[in-house]
A and B are shown apart, each in its own frame.
Chain A
Amino acid sequence: MTKWGELWEKSLRDISVEAALKCLDDAGVDKVDSITVGTMSGGLFNAQEHLGSLVADYLGQRFVPATRVESACASGGLAVKNAYMEVASGLSQYALAVGVEKMTDVDGGDATFALATASDYDYEAFHGITFPGLYALMAVAHMKKYGTSLEQLAQVSVKNHHNGSLNPHAQFPCAVTLDQVMTSTMVADPMRLLHCSPITDGSAAVLLVPLTVAKKMNKPYAVITGIGHASDTIALCQRKDFAKLEVVEVAAQRALKMAGKTIRDIDFAEVHDCFSIAEIIVMEALGVVESGQGGPATVNGLTALDGDFPINPSGGLKSKGHPVGATGVAQVVEAVIQLRGQAGPRQIKNARTALTQNMGGSGASSIIHILEAR
């Protein structure tokens, strides 16, 4: 991946091609068999659809089959899954997955509108709810049910910003204090500004090849051994428990089963902390801790870089940024960097098995990958 942020001088095609080239150079490959582009809404953010062809063209890969996939904020994870299927089906030997979102070509109101289309538009966004608002509804339910505290929620941001301060690609590579988080501008009670992931321009890319080919490339790599993908009701209010993300439970069970693992076999995870409460509910859904224990476990350091189950060593969506379609691919990139032992100051010791969890909307979709070092 490349440096993320408000990249006013760069276009949608610039950032996608930069990330893709960095990936291809890393792999020593100059021609691919297919390209999958994960983007939430080129139409609303950039008045540009047809992104498969746009990226293939400007990447110098004319005539290569190019597909754009979308699952809101999980579009990136879906791009990786689609590239996996290209390889697994035998249609491609070199399958490139690119995730991208260029979000600052529109103003804040229009960006909020574009993101709100990932909700049930007629029954959620129509009533004036925002994405911070939807996750705030989950936070209030979680606080009521389990006694999760504002300090526990804030600690997620403190931890992720600490990790992000060690990641040169992060949009906000700076530490924040508990006090700064807890006194930042209120967005949707109890979600404050520093509980929320930012608006970001960014792209990330990974190349998938059959294992037999990877072995001959003489380059460091990691192996995808599990994929779990699930959907749920588009509207939050139609689920049975607002303090839970069943879509993540189901996707995790599928991914772990495919990999022949349990959550105890996982060394670390990159999860979709679009809002602080999301990381807490996701770690419970993955089975890292019991339901209701996500907050206390975060404060106790379980998920810190040097904890027993590090979460979001990259800085997560909070610090690294959240260019929605790029996020799921960037999670896989961080997993690969860690598994190759190339993460520098944020390197997790003895990282052999990683899990990435990408989420769409308020939990209407989730895609989980399990990766292993070789």
Chain B
Amino acid sequence: MAMHVARNWRETPERYRMEAAKCKKCSAIHFPARLICPECQGREFATVRLSGKGELATFTIIRIAPTGFGDLVPYAVGIVKMDEGIHVMAQIVDCNPEELKIGDRVVSQFRRINQEGKNGMILYGYKFVPDLGL
């Protein structure tokens, strides 16, 4: 389903730069940013960029895909424990999904995620790839 351009445009800080919010009161990091900290109810935050590095906490291989993702099958989606301590969900690519293991080191990259409809916007964001330490 195609959305208004603004729906995707306003996600740019999170999708393109992995910007998170760090609570000024308790230092908890939230991705995506929030207006109130669920840990301490604080309302003041500093913008921080996630390092993009972390390790695989759990993952699956999607064999039956939703509309728009059919060409990618089979593809891995995982929850990554970022080095900052928080968790982020995204695709894990540039790997053989069958060989992934919990604990694998990964790093985020800026990638094409999807296209809305036939002539719609191309949507970009983050995916993770194996961290080869390069």
Contact = CB atoms under 8 A, between A and B. Distances in A.
B92 to A, nearest CB: 10
Interface string A184-198: 011111110000000
A236 B77 CA distance: 13
Contacts of B45: none
A34 B28 CA distance: 45
B110 to A, nearest CB: 14
A342 interface: no
Nearest to A139: B60
Interface string B1-14: 10000000001001
Contact of A140 (B60, B65, B87, B89): B60
A360 B109 CA distance: 32
Interface stretch (A45-53, A129-137, A305-313): A129-137
B99 to A, nearest CB: 12
A126 interface: yes
B69 A242 contact: no
A136 B60 contact: yes
A113 B1 CA distance: 8
A187 B63 contact: yes
A260 interface: no
Interface in B92-134: 102, 113-114, 123, 125, 127
Contacts of B127: 127
Contacts of B64: 130, 132, 185, 187-188
A127 B91 contact: yes
B77 A140 contact: no
Given A116-B66, A128-B65, A236-B89, A141 B58 contact: yes
Contacts of B87: 237-238
A131 to B, nearest CB: 10
B91 A189 contact: no
Interface residues of B, number: 33
A242 B75 CA distance: 21
A130 B62 CA distance: 8
A113 B93 CA distance: 23
Given A237-B79, A242-B58, A126 B66 contact: no
A188 B61 contact: yes
B112 to A, nearest CB: 12
B67 A133 contact: no
5 shortest A-B CB distances, which residue pairs?
A136-B60, A109-B67, A237-B87, A128-B69, A141-B58
16 contacts: A112-B67, A113-B67, A116-B66, A124-B89, A125-B66, A127-B77, A127-B113, A128-B62, A128-B65, A128-B72, A133-B60, A137-B58, A137-B59, A137-B79, A236-B89, A242-B58
